[in-house]
Structure 1
Amino acid sequence: MNRRSAAPPRKTIATRVLASFAVTVIAFAMTVGWSVVAQRRAAQDNEELARGYLPAALGLGQLRASQGTLAALVEGSPDERNPEAMRYVLETLARVRHQTFVDTRESLRQGLATVGSPSSRELAAALTLELTAIEDELEGDKEHFEALLTALGEGDKNAVNRILVEAGPLEHRAARRLRDVAERIRTSMDRISEDAQRREQRAIYALIALAVLTLGVGVLVSIHTRRLLAPLARVTERAQAVAHGDLTPQTVVPTNDEIGDLAMAFERMVGAVASAQAQALSNERLAAIGKMAAHVTHEIRNPLSSIGLNIELLEEELGAGESRSLLQAIAREVQRLEHLSEEYLRLARLPSPRMEAEDIAGAVHEVVNFSRAEMDRADCKVRVDIADKLPPALFDESQIRQALLNLLRNAREAMPRGGDIDVIVRAEGMSVVVRVNDRGGGIPDEIRPRVFDPFFSTKGEGTGLGLAITRQIVVAHGGSVTAEPREGGGTSFRVALPIAPARASEPRGGRPALPPARQAISK
């Protein structure tokens, strides 16, 4: 058993259109997704600046202001006349500074360390430690403030100057350290702003590129869908042409989809309709010819019989001579007309076939044997090649014998100088096929479709009814007959008859089936 390769799965039109739509949706989703990602990143940057860096920067600004004020007071000349007021200012600034340290560290821990990026969280941890270290260093200025206020109260200027020299550098060093912390905050904020700006520019370019890509995909998908549906428009045009009477089958480019199947099925339907119409016209023509032939034959047969009888009487009365020769020529023409009238009657009165399961090999052998003498006179050899174990076929024996005899005579007439005729019988599908091959001059392509038309003949003599009667017989049997060019020259006539069903396959008991000979030559 031959293993056939599995056919690739067919891609339906719905699948292809859905795939095209999916490609468009994917392109659009990429654009929307990139836009969402870009917006999300921008929102994260804004949140990091607003909830992380900005509170810390404001806290550092207040802390630097408080520290700068304290440093300015310590560096300047204290008010010796009102030490209590000086005490109040210094204590107030110290409390504000302490609270600002606490608030700023809290902003770094709860804000920047929570919403910031990994680098920002590292910076928040480092700045928190730095602020703690600065505040620890400033713990010593309380003693300096107490000593300064005591010296102011006692009016000891030397002690005041000594304390200011010791406390001034400490306050200024703390102010510088706070300035460095603020600079780090500002530098980080600038970096984040620049990164955000660059990402925004890249996002804009990416969105433009993705938008163009989506538009291009949409255009390509539209072109692809239009190309997919173009055969449907051609099928519609063909349907309109067929509606206007164009029944010529067109060549269809096969496509692996439903529209391709529809186009091929439509063209097969057009071919079937054209064939049925041609067959109907041929049947109507045959019916008309048959009626006319029956009428004409009926009208001329009796006069021909009378003429023939009178000629015989005249031949008896006349002796030998020129007159007798003329009468014999007239008699031959009368016989030809009688033969012609019989052909017309056979065409007009061909009965319906009596279909029975028969052995086609036996019928072929009988026809070949019957025509042996005729073939010998024409110097023709008939080669018979019949396959073994042929199934019975459904046919009317007498009519099929007449059809095969017409084909053998046609092959003989195609070879005026004699030659080989091949009769090949094979089972093909649900039919038994008989081929009659000659080696004559062949039939030109332009007239081959007309060889089965009544009264059409390429020979100078003959009625042109033999092949027409053959086709009428075969078609009445539910079969087909075609004329094909034979490889190497000549013509091959192919007759296909239906195989008999199993219940009708027992041979009729009148004529024993002949053994199927593989090769038989009649000479």
Structure 2
Amino acid sequence: MKLSLATRIFLGYAVVLATFGAVSLFSVAELHRNRLEIRLVSQGYLQLSQDAAALESFHTNQEKDTERLLEEGSVETRRALIRLARLYFPSLMTERLQAAKTRAGEVRTMAPTGEVHFVQDLESRLGELSNRYQSYGRAAEAVFTVLSNEKPTAEEVARATSELRQQESSIGRDIRFLRAALSNRIRERVDGAEDRERRTGLAIITLSVLAIGVGLGATAWSARTLRPVRTLIEGVSRIGRGDYSAQLGVRGDDEVAVLAREFDAMARSLQAREAQLKAQAEALMRAEQLAAVGRISAQVAHEVRNPLSSIGLNVELMQDAFERATFESPVDAREARELLAAVTREVDRLTEVTEQYLRMARPPQPSLEPTDVTEVLASVLDFSREELERAHVEVVRELAEAPPQALADEGQLRQVFLNLLRNAREAMPDGGRLTIATRVHERQVEVAIQDTGRGMSEAVRSRIFEPFFTTKEDGTGLGLAVCQQILKAHGGSLGCQSEPGQGTTFSVRLPRA
């Protein structure tokens, strides 16, 4: 969004006011947070700690009463103590535990989110203490029953008091743990509040200094925003004199910067128009040259192909004649046949080269029909089996389960696959693995031909589809260019991915039938 100069200056000072407002809000928020922390400690944890201390004191007194009861020799006195214990101890302990649990529930309602788990743990511990005291009451009642007898035996007393002492020890340990947990939590919260108070003070001072810095920065920024006006005046004068190479270079989003960029764009557009006209003239010249080369290539190929056919036919007749001829020695016969075989190979190579030139100069229009890509691949692989086996190339087929139907010219598609397979074999002179995979997409059929050969550098890969570019000693540089031309005529594409030493993958994409 583009803002005017006045709006930007106003926003700068608004930022200053907002910064000071943020400092004030931060201070108020921290004060409120400290108040909640004090309330949590004073009205929550300290009260719970007092309740835990009361429980510990009451439990300690109960242990002393139990010891006194065990040491008392008078039956009447024991029975009186037992009546008092039955009357007062259960109700008082239940009342204290219920008060502690109620207070813990109140603390949980006012505790922050980070403290809820701790308070719930306290409630759980108090609930466990209630259950333990019920079991303790039953154990105490068993002891009271034994001690109510006039002459209880030592074994009965020992058996009854054993479980009671264990429960007293366990309950006392739990109460001490509860009280220690509360004490530690109070100390942690107090320490945290003190540390937070120090950090809050430092933050307020830092934010205040930052607000002052923002104010000074807004003032300097306003002055700098108005500075490009002089640069704009000088640049406009230079452009007015015809110096289109002058660039104002004013940055920003205000009116002055936008105007300066428009002048810069005008100057660049004039320069770009001149460069574009020059480039178009050069491209037109290159296109005319390539068209002329194409016409000459087609004419030369056409003129050469007919004599080559006659030469090849005559060489075949000579081979048939040599089969019936006699020579002075077997060496002469072998040399003659080798010469004719060499002539035949060269004739075949020149014929293939002329055919490639003709296909490049006058590409035939494909006859598109629904074609089973898997069947075409199988046919090409069967045709090339012997050649691949001699080169020690292992063929791996990863074909789609459903035969993919593509809209293609079968003959031209065979030519593309044969060329790609031959290139893959030549890329693996020491043998390797050739993976053929087919995939069916929503609107396309993809065939991936992957080899484990030497791979290509990025510089070579970017030029492999250029006509007449080749890395082979006896290549024409037309094979991949013709393949790409054929696939484009099909409405498809030919892609390549390769890394040096990692092999090469050619991806053939055809429209689905």
TM-score interval, normalised by the smaller of the two chains: 0.3 to 0.5
Select the structure that is richer in helix. Answer: 2
Q: TM-score, normalised by structure 2?
A: 0.46
Larger Rg: 1
Greater RCO, CA 8 A, separation 6+ = 1
